Amino acid sequence: MPGTASPATPTQARQTQLDQGDVSDGGLQRRYRIMGIWLLLCCAVLLALVAVGGATRLTGSGLSITEWNPMSGALPPMSAERWQQEFELYRQSPEYQEINRGMSMSEFQFIYWWEWGHRQLARFLGLIFAVPLAWFWWRGWIPSQMRWPLVGLIALGGLQAWMGWYMVQSGLVDEPRVSQYRLAAHLGLALLIYVGMLWLALRLIWPVHAQPHRLRAVPWVLGLVGLTIVSGAFVAGLKAGYVFGTFPLMGGQWLPPGGLYLEPAWRNLFDNPATVQFIHRVLGVATVLAAAGLWVWSWRRPLSASQRLALHAVALLALLQVTLGIATLVLSVPIKLAVAHQAVAVLLLSAVLVLLHCSRNREGVGV
């Protein structure tokens, strides 16, 4: 009849279900589960990338590749001539001139492989994120409320790649070290991407029901953990972990000697190794106290099993993280401990995000 809307086709009806976040249908649940697993896999690769990045920095490998070739750089030197060309480029860098003068080819290859592996892992992450995303989008699997967040993650990934090279450039000009500001931005972007992917994965795989207690302090704990990790980037950039290798005192004092020698005074917060280490210590202790306080406060609250389990994970990982941090400090930053410290920090961030997710009072798939 005129004026009567034509019935929706099965494809249109299915898309309407996707857009409305209806997960009651088994087929939709399967699609969401597949996409959630894909995002969790991307999170695992990014976690490995953060750990490898820490090892690259600690082995002094981050400035070994002095050019950024997004396509041709995917292939390592395949001949003695190409290795010599790469070595000659490195010999022109401040790091070789001031620190590694006289380095042998085998020593150069050791640091080169670390940096090349870090860049390759970043390329792999981009590939396993973009290709499945294009396929899911083409098939119409992606709920409308998740489309812009996923596009935003692609944009952040591109910015992250550029920031990585921008960071390396800072160590190829005058001083043989990267800017701690750029290092913190590089790590901060990685954390933002990680949190975004994990949050979407949780929403796809694990739709939760309204909880009796939302645990309103959890977002603050999440912010504190993120801030502590980013402060660690300043510690790494300034090699501040090598000063005052005692705990809890620093040079026999509670406040670091020489903590305010820079002018203007605010520069000590970001440029003074002693002050930067002190800030990281305070934030680390504050994080474990916040996690423990939340755990104690929630003990007699009527929480769900998932909330309780996530709380236990947050408390245990916070305790492990501060233990690793202290051990890394007093043992003069051994590589394995330092990398574990950085990796567990991301796991702690993950646990807090899971706790936040299962404390929501909003149901269904969405952001």
Q: Last residue of some domain: 160, 176, 205? A: 205
Whether 11 maps to a domain, the answer reads no
Whether 192 maps to a domain, the answer reads yes
Whether 14 maps to a domain, the answer reads no
pLDDT at residue 299 in the model: 84
Residue (of 286, 333, 271) closest to 54 by Cα position: 333
Verify that 240 and 174 share a domain, yes or no.
no
Whether 15 maps to a domain, the answer reads no
The C-alpha atoms of residue 142 and residue 35 are separated, in whole angstroms, by 8
The tokens for 62 are: 């981050």
Verify that 281 and 339 share a domain, yes or no.
yes
Verify that 152 and 34 share a domain, yes or no.
yes
Whether 306 maps to a domain, the answer reads yes
Verify that 62 and 197 share a domain, yes or no.
yes
Parent domain of 295: 210-367
pLDDT at residue 25 in the model: 58
Whether 9 maps to a domain, the answer reads no
Verify that 187 and 49 share a domain, yes or no.
yes
Q: What is the DSSP string of 284-327?
A: HHHHHHHHHHHHHHTTTS---HHHHHHHHHHHHHHHHHHHHHHH
The tokens for 83 are: 């290795």
The C-alpha atoms of residue 365 and residue 348 are separated, in whole angstroms, by 24
pTM score above 0.95: no
- Cα-based distances in Å from 277 to 53, 56, 167: 20, 21, 21
Verify that 159 and 175 share a domain, yes or no.
yes
| Number of domain units in the chain | 2
Verify that 226 and 342 share a domain, yes or no.
yes
Verify that 57 and 185 share a domain, yes or no.
yes
CB 238 within 8 A of CB 273: yes
Residue with tokens 């306080």: 293
Verify that 178 and 229 share a domain, yes or no.
no
First vs last Cα of the chain: how many Å apart? Answer: 40
Verify that 195 and 221 share a domain, yes or no.
no
Verify that 216 and 353 share a domain, yes or no.
yes
Q: Last residue of some domain: 166, 188, 205? A: 205
Which ranges constitute the DSSP H helices of the chain? 10-20, 26-58, 80-91, 94-98, 105-139, 144-169, 180-205, 218-237, 268-271, 273-297, 305-330, 335-357
- Exposed e or buried b for every residue in 104-124, given b needs 16+ CB within 10 A? eeeebbebbbbbbbbbbbbee
pLDDT (tens, 9 = 90+) of the chain, 367 residues, equals 444 444 444 444 444 454 544 444 578 889 999 999 999 999 999 999 999 999 999 999 999 999 888 877 889 999 999 999 999 999 999 999 999 999 999 999 999 999 999 999 999 999 999 999 999 999 999 988 999 999 999 999 999 999 999 999 999 988 888 999 999 999 999 999 999 999 999 999 987 665 556 788 999 999 999 999 999 999 999 999 999 999 999 989 999 998 898 989 999 999 999 999 999 999 999 999 999 999 999 888 888 888 899 999 999 999 999 999 999 999 999 999 999 999 999 999 999 999 999 887 555 555 5
The C-alpha atoms of residue 345 and residue 341 are separated, in whole angstroms, by 6
Q: Last residue of some domain: 205, 231, 264? A: 205
Residue (of 216, 366, 221) closest to 301 by Cα position: 216
Whether 232 maps to a domain, the answer reads yes
Q: What is the CA radius of gyration of the chain?
A: 24
3-class secondary-structure state, position 250: strand
pLDDT at residue 6 in the model: 46
Whether 52 maps to a domain, the answer reads yes
Verify that 214 and 170 share a domain, yes or no.
no
CB 323 within 8 A of CB 350: no
